[in-house]
Amino acid sequence: MLLKNINEWILLFIIIGVISLVGNFVGYNIMSLNAIAGISVLIIISLISLVLNKVVPVNFPTIGYVSIIAVLISTPWTPGSDLILSWTNEVELLALATPVLAYAGISIGRSWTDFLKIGWKSIVVASVVMIGTFIGSAIIAEIILNIQGII
């Protein structure tokens, strides 16, 4: 079962990888062996995380594993992190976000009819909710960073 899953994941990651690399080229003019190596590293991290999520009998999310592995292999204290980063630096962050949001849009289409039902008051409140959290966090961050003398 797990092997069948891994097989499926690899095929899907190849598709996502190719789409991302083409986006990376169209949007940022980067097409290099390093970029291919970079996306491969990212896919391997994702694969390991998906497997860990299935195998480890603890309820810990895949994206948690991804974040921990990615942070650990790229700290300044990790041997070899420079090499890995020289590859992944040629894969632009936003080029990786575009396919996510294209799939998200296709998925969001299903919620469109629900959205039409929520009414203008909810839309006003939702807008203030998002602006509120953004400005609230920014103000506190600004104050503490100032106190710490970082900015």
Partner 1 sequence: MSNETIFGLWKDWRLHAVVFLIVIISEAIGTFSFSLGPGVIMILPIIYAIVFGIMMYFTPFINKKQSKKADTLILLSVTVFLGKIGLTVGPALPDIIAAGPALLLQEIGNLGTILFALPVAVWLGLKRESIGMTHSVAREPNVGLIMDKYGMGSPEGRGVMSIYIFGTVFGAVFMGLIAGLIASMTPLHPLSFAMASGIGSGTMMAAASGSLIELYPALENDIAAFAGASNLLSLSTGLYVSIFIGLPLTEKLYKLMTNKRNKTPEIPVQKKSVK
- Say whether residue 99 binds partner 1 (CB under 8 A): yes
Rounded Cα–Cα distance for residues 68 and 83 (Å): 19
Q: Shortest Cβ distance from residue 32 to partner 1 (Å)?
A: 16
- Say whether residue 83 binds partner 1 (CB under 8 A): no
**Site residues (CB under 8 A) for partner 1, limited to 12-51:** 12-13, 15-17, 19-20, 22-23, 26-28, 39, 41-43, 45-46, 49-50
Q: Shortest Cβ distance from residue 56 to partner 1 (Å)?
A: 15
Cβ atoms within 10 Å, residue 70: 16
Rounded Cα–Cα distance for residues 95 and 26 (Å): 9
- Say whether residue 141 binds partner 1 (CB under 8 A): yes
Q: For residues 140, 145, 148 and 151, what is the CA-based torsion angle, rounded to 10 degrees?
A: -150
- Say whether residue 151 binds partner 1 (CB under 8 A): yes
Nearest-5° Cα angle at 136, 93 to 108: 50
Q: Shortest Cβ distance from residue 45 to partner 1 (Å)?
A: 4
